[in-house]
Chain A
């Protein structure tokens, strides 16, 4: 065990910090979950890409700088410390790309990854349906074989697609063999949203941003080259993504260190000072973040040693989603009557409320912990 950084890692941190300090917009951009804000964020994404910071752990040929997992953690820490903008390409980078690396053909990788990293193609997720949220395998959107054209025709509806109204492409699961059993007859498709038959309809989040979209597919043609992984093997392709989503890659400890830093600042500036109970709650928030960071260090050590992240990712998801909410609840208490006013902390609180819901609800995560980590019997 060695909890110090190498000179190479410290150098990497220094480079990241220096570039981020020089380049981060001085004033926060409008929310990336609005049409206007999304465009402003694309500008930022392109600057990140041009400087080689948009996908640091990727191969250089795809726009990365081949950072190690440790260096990725360092970059995330510096990114949030700098107060840099929300990553509106995160669905593509953290959800789609790992599946493309694992299951894509060389041609798919060459076609998809550079444009994804450069924010030229903007990807949204097409998984959930009105009848299939936690029970994703209940999805009914269909893909019917079109041998004549060498592809498939997609029909159905996807919902809760974050920033879907502003994106150019969607990755989604469709049922290609209704007779094969819930998990077996699904295929993973990559769809251009300007394809004939696609209709996108944005709708609002709790905080008022147009952050969601319904995606309607009416006989949309998708060629064979846009099937990711084997036909009828889509569940496995999607589940590889899910572990990454819940765990490490979606929410790194650096994000919450920065959030705690802002909370501590709020606490120190609180008129009249703090009550003893509030100091205790602050300390517990710090402990939550520190525990998450150390647990992540443990996870990354295992990844570097070659052990894949399994159901342990559910522990990460439970931890970060709960600690983010606790931090924000304390912030609202520290604000006192000011918590009635719309501002960064109230917006952060509203967003933190979604943490226990997205990336697999915490109820599902607890089932996974109980069944796969503890070995308890299934309930259904």
Chain B
């Protein structure tokens, strides 16, 4: 039993961190093309592709820290969808080689049809892969052997045809793919489930990085902002709010790492572990976002100041790749906990 990362895994994190330096420091949004070029230059986008197709032959545990860094930088690119989900689903030589060469893939497997970054993607993977157990859960996190379908859409230079949908996060545009579009991807239900889990896990890792950065910005801000002659960060109400945010984040983090291990080894507990990771990463990041905004005061409540980029990304990713409610449903099923009583009873008396 050992919870430590290997030197190689830590080096990968450092490599991603170094490659992304300077991208997110400017007043404007991060340039997606610049971000993608740095990631594919590192080999991150093809990291899970087999070596015989030019990839690094790594797994989710190897890249989870690197994905956290992409969250730290709030990168507006489909790196989870490409490096994890597409790598698990598009395993033929030509497709795998294209991933290594830097082709961008977007994906949505929760049945919503809401494809992120449709304009960036050359290929879209759209499906409904239920979470957890057979008979599964809609909007799920992926996992189990419950079947589900995935369709592949390839577009021209404009990407797969998607009807634009206004997005909460302006840096994460959305398009709606109509059901039945594209070609069915023939794949074993277990393979689809594993791909769904990969998306949930990668997103959970990004949520950890996003939240960590939002918290760091807030700690820095309240340390400098003075009112009543002292830094506002010296007030206990502010300190305790941020301490609670840090607690939530640090208790979600090891669930993400344990899920990365389970996913990499495809263990029997992988569905449960990934659902736990995505649920807690989502809720922790949302709690951090809430505290970050509150502790910034009005300064956080404008697009003139950068905090909003991390907040809106957190809220968007919380609802993608398995909502907390969907995750809890997967966990309830895995733990054998079932609701019996209806929420409301029409007429009658209490028993």
Contacts and interface: CB of A to CB of B under 8 A. Distances in A.
Contacts of A300: 3
Contact of A2 (B2, B255, B279): B2
Interface stretch (B97-105, B106-114, B172-180, B256-264): B256-264
Contacts of A366: 239-240, 243-244
B252 interface: yes
A377 B252 contact: no
A114 to B, nearest CB: 30
Interface stretch (A128-136, A137-145, A266-274, A340-348): A266-274
Interface string B42-55: 00000000000000
Contacts of A379: 234-236, 239
B242 A376 contact: yes
Contact of A279 (B238, B261, B338): B338
B1 A319 contact: no
B346 to A, nearest CB: 16
Contacts of A273: 338-341
B34 interface: no
A14 interface: no
User: What DSSP secondary structure best describes chain B's contact surface?
Assistant: helix
Contacts of B246: 315, 369, 373-374
A3 B258 contact: yes
Contact of A290 (B230, B276, B351): B276
A301 interface: yes
A73 B240 CA distance: 30
Contacts of B337: 264, 267-268, 274, 279, 282-283
Interface stretch (A4-12, A40-48, A204-212): A4-12
Contacts of B261: 1-3
B61 interface: yes
Interface string A317-339: 01100000000000000000000
A350 B143 CA distance: 40
Interface stretch (A190-198, A224-232, A291-299): A291-299
A1 B335 contact: no
A373 B247 CA distance: 10
B231 interface: yes
Nearest to B250: A315
B251 A319 contact: yes
Contact of A291 (B243, B252, B338): B252
B276 A287 contact: yes
Contact of A287 (B231, B250, B331, B340): B331
B239 A287 contact: no
Contacts of B239: 366-367, 370-371, 374, 376, 379
Given A274-B341, A287-B280, A1 B2 contact: yes
A297 B254 contact: yes
Contact of B236 (A272, A302, A367): A367
A26 interface: no
A6 B234 CA distance: 47
Interface string B267-289: 00000000010011000000000
Given A286-B331, A291-B251, A1 B234 contact: no
Contacts of A294: 3, 254-255, 257-258
- Size class of the contact patch on chain A: 35 or more
Contacts of B235: 379
Contact of B340 (A274, A365, A373): A274
Most chain A beta carbons < 10 A, residue from B215, B243, B340: B243
A376 B4 contact: no
Given A3-B261, A273-B341, A315-B250, A298 B3 contact: yes
Contacts of B332: 279-280, 282-283
Nearest to A272: B341
Contacts of B242: 370, 374, 376
B343 interface: yes
A227 B335 CA distance: 52
A275 interface: yes
Nearest to A301: B3
Contacts of A181: none
A374 B219 contact: yes
B119 to A, nearest CB: 36
B234 A291 contact: no
B160 interface: no
Contact of A295 (B1, B61, B250, B335): B250
Given A3-B262, A282-B335, 5 more contacts: A1-B5, A3-B1, A283-B331, A301-B4, A319-B247
25 contacts: A1-B4, A1-B6, A3-B258, A264-B337, A268-B336, A272-B340, A273-B339, A275-B341, A276-B339, A276-B343, A283-B331, A287-B276, A291-B254, A295-B250, A295-B251, A295-B254, A297-B254, A298-B257, A315-B247, A366-B239, A371-B239, A373-B243, A374-B242, A377-B231, A377-B234
Question: Which 5 A-B residue pairings sit nearest by Cβ, starting from the closest?
Answer: A273-B340, A370-B239, A294-B254, A301-B3, A369-B243
Interface of A: 1-6, 9, 70, 264, 267-268, 272-280, 282-284, 286-288, 290-292, 294-295, 297-298, 300-302, 304-305, 312, 315, 318-319, 363, 365-367, 369-371, 373-379
